[in-house]
Amino acid sequence: MEAIISIPSGVFKPYDGVSIAIVVFAKTSHGVSRAGGRDKVQFYDMQTDGYSLDDKRSPISNNDIPDIINRFQQRHQEQDCLHTEQSFIVPFDEMKANDWDLSINRYKEIVYVDRVNQNA
């Protein structure tokens, strides 16, 4: 397993509003990855695919797909990304400790900003 890309609900509207994930696997030969095996998986939290997430699916300027491709091609540079970022690396040991839960919400850290006291 190389990467898991979390796709937001609404991408398949108006037909379905479910959120999905794309799992990327490495091609193997006799159970061994050509790259020598992976002990980490890249997670990417896609927010938009270039279209609105409502039933109309109108084109918008924001599109994470080029960034997803770029970060996947350069995933060796993602090693130091924090779990608060849009893309980050999760070791297999951490996934195993979480019963192999592949949901990005299990690993992504949310940072809350206190806007009330921010101006004080």
Q: Which residue has the tokens 């980490």?
A: 40
Q: What is the pLDDT of residues 60-96, one digit of tens each?
A: 999 999 999 999 988 888 888 889 888 999 999 999 9
* Bridging pattern class, strands 32-33 and 28-29: antiparallel
**Which of these, 61, 62, 2, 58, lies nearest to 28 by C-alpha position?**
2
The secondary structure element, H or E, covering residue 51 is strand 49-51
Which class for 86: exposed (0-12), middle (13-18), buried (19 or more C-beta within 10 A)?
A: middle
Residue 39 confidence (pLDDT) above 50:
yes
Structural domains for the chain: 3-118 (3.40.50.150)
pTM more than 0.85: no
